[in-house]
Amino acid sequence: MNRLYFFFLLLLLSRAPWAKSDLLENPKPTWETQPHAQLFDFSIPAPRGQITDCHGQPLAQNRISFNLALQFPTPLHMKDQEVLSFAKKYIAFTQGLLKEPVHLSDQKILNHYHYRGLLPLDLLEDLSAAQLALAQEGLPKELVLRQTSIRFYPEGDLAAHLLGYIGRRAPLSLRAIEDKDLIFPQSEGREGLEEIFNEQLQGSPGSLSTTYDEDGKKVSQRLKQPPLPGNNVITTLDLALQRCCEKVLRENCSQGAIVFIDPNTGEIKAMASYPAFNPNKFVPVLPSEVFEELKKDPSAPLLPRAFRSAYPPGSTFKIVVGLAALQEGIITPEDTFHGPASLQIGNTLFHNWKKTDAGKLNFLQAFTQSCNTWFYQCGLKMKANPMILWAHHLGLAKSTGLPLKGEAVGNIPDDQYMLRVHGRKILPGDLANMSIGQGDILVTPLQMAQLSAIIATEGKFHQTRLIRQIQTPENKVIAAYPDRLRAELQLKPEVISLLHKAMVSVTEDPQGTAHRAQVPGLHVAGKSGTAQWGPATKQRTAAWFTGFVPADHPQYAFAALYEGAPGDHSIHGGSHAAPLIGKVLRELYGKNEEEHSSQQTTSSTQRPSGASIKGEEEEGD
């Protein structure tokens, strides 16, 4: 009421006869305008949303960071040489205090002064705890601490190829300050899930209203709108299993990959590639020399071998060959082929991996021993089309549909491919190569694990998934990716039952090739494989093991790839890839190496006379 009364009183006074003449005689108001004052609404970058495993354990989150920055004096009337002298004085002080070099070119200093001189210029970013303590003891007024939020990967290089990394958008100092400009540089996803889900993760910027007087001195500042953190991306990964897979790779091979899938849902529980990199090195920025070092490293640590590299599958492809031949009725479980040490096909002599004649074998026996010469004959009898058809049914030569860029689709050669690449259709020699997963066939470890998941579920092809859902910071689900069947293959019960039995024989039968994937108290179903690729002078070996566990009620399907060094021909699926899976499974199911060794010793004493388990050097394909 008092305010309303005061308003009417002013109105009446302004209309009084003497009021007008008084204003004419005294035109100067009681307050003064400042036409050169400036008001900016600066944008504050929002903290990125988290990326977590399926249990909510963080894989990518944020942490508080402090930058030491230089505030230039106002008004901004210094000449370029004065600017540089001023800046270098405090750069020298900073380097002496914090014992770390400041890398700022003269041009960058001048660009900032001319275009963004009202704002502090960061000299050092992301101070260590010791540096922060020193800075907090007392700084000249020209040096200020700026607090911000930056990306942090609490598990270091764990799942780095899936998470990806971040990078900064274009520099902010190349143009004059404008309204809505960011007060700090903003990061964006550059690889992996950070890139694919960048829009969901980046959040909404806040607004900081700042007023400067005509000399450029800050006179007021007010937070108009706090930044809204980005949404959280919940993956299907199991942190403990991912950690275990990466540990096994790190301790047992120079280069390789392991993938674990829940065959009943299609969820990827672990997908590891080795070697890896630490995405924390990309925060707040990645030094160019570090990036060049990573790119030039011959072991290719930036390469996600699990899904972006395709290899010849070797004898693991015999799963496809056997399934196709049995499903199409081309062979029966009782049919036999002779298994010689070698077989002449056209002008080429094709060899078995074993040097001895295996005698007459049916499918179960040939699959258990991984007899190449048996599968050459099976492939020649079947021809190419059923093999190609069933390879496609099992997801080979197709994208899995994961939200990851650059996924390799692999290759299943057909006549059109052979004409385009080799100038001929598929010949008998090509069929022989295809029958043992060699030649131009290429698959990824991810595809091979997916294939084993389909076999484990007797033909149910669940869509392979890496993301469960996207949630707001308040845990409201705004997008979900539920289980769905991509296909349901009509597999004959007797065929899938025989294939399951054969895969268990690979790990348990005396003639099997993958005893070192055994786990005490569990039946492990699998298939080993060994394949060569690359030019003859630098030929490399891909050692494989794929399958599922427990064989009677599958909980996991898996694939392991051991990538041999150029020229090393001692690498085999049974001796190098199968042990990788065995180590993971024994940790996963709480079994130790002593139990495993005891089981192997006991089982060897129970074998019939004349039967023997292969030693480390002898376990092959």
Share of the chain above pLDDT 90, in %: 78
Q: Are 163 and 70 in contact (CB under 8 A)?
A: no
Of 179, 212, 209, which is closest to residue 34 (Cα–Cα)? 212
SS3 sequence of 414-467: CHHHHHHHHCCCCCHHHHHHHHCCCCCCEECHHHHHHHHHHHHCCCEEECCECE
Task: Give the pLDDT of residue 594.
Answer: 59
Binning pLDDT at 50, 70 and 90, where does residue 443 land?
very high
Taking the mean position of all CA atoms in its chain, how far away is CA 340? 44
| 232-235 and 51-52 beta bridge pairing | parallel
| Residue 18: partners with Cβ closer than 8 Å, 6 or more residues away | none
DSSP 306-353: HHH--B--GGGGHHHHHHHHHHTTSS-TT--EE--SEEEETTEEEE-S
Of the given ranges (119-133, 166-180, 381-395, 580-594), which has the lowest mean pLDDT? 166-180
Task: Give the pLDDT of residue 173.
Answer: 67
Write the pLDDT tens digit of every residue in 454-504. 999 999 999 999 999 999 999 999 999 999 999 999 999 999 999 999 999
At 340, phi and psi to the nearest 5? Answer: -70, 170
Q: Count the alpha carbons within 13 Å of 89 in the hemisphere toward its beta carbon.
A: 11
Task: Give the pLDDT of residue 17.
Answer: 36
In 10 A of CB 515, how many CB atoms?
Answer: 25
Q: What is the largest CA-CA distance in the chain?
A: 128
Taking the mean position of all CA atoms in its chain, how far away is CA 535? 29
Task: Give the pLDDT of residue 605.
Answer: 36
Question: How far, in Å, CA of 179 to CA of 41, rounded?
Answer: 6
Binning pLDDT at 50, 70 and 90, where does residue 600 land?
low
Domains of the chain: 38-235 (3.90.1310.10), 239-605 (3.40.710.10)
Write the pLDDT tens digit of every residue in 544-563. 999 999 999 999 999 999 99
Write the pLDDT tens digit of every residue in 194-247. 999 999 999 999 999 999 888 888 888 899 999 999 999 999 999 999 999 999
Task: Give the pLDDT of residue 68.
Answer: 97
Task: Give the pLDDT of residue 223.
Answer: 92
Of 315, 314, 377, 313, which is closest to residue 340 (Cα–Cα)? 377
Across 612-617, average pLDDT: 34
Q: Using CB atoms within 10 A of its CB, is residue 17 exposed (0-12), middle (13-18) or buried (19+)? A: exposed
DSSP 191-233: SHHHHHTHHHHS-B-EEEEEEE-TTS-EEEEEEEEPPBPPPEE
Of the given ranges (106-115, 179-188, 395-404, 579-588), which has the lowest mean pLDDT? 179-188
Task: Give the pLDDT of residue 36.
Answer: 58
Task: Give the pLDDT of residue 612.
Answer: 32
SS3 sequence of 12-74: HHHCCHHHHHHHHHCCCCCCCCCCCCEEEEEEECCCCCCEECCCCCEEEEEEEEEEEEECCCC
| Residue 345: partners with Cβ closer than 8 Å, 6 or more residues away | 376, 380, 428, 429, 432
Write the pLDDT tens digit of every residue in 165-191. 999 887 666 778 888 888 888 899 999
Would the pLDDT of 111 be above 60?
yes
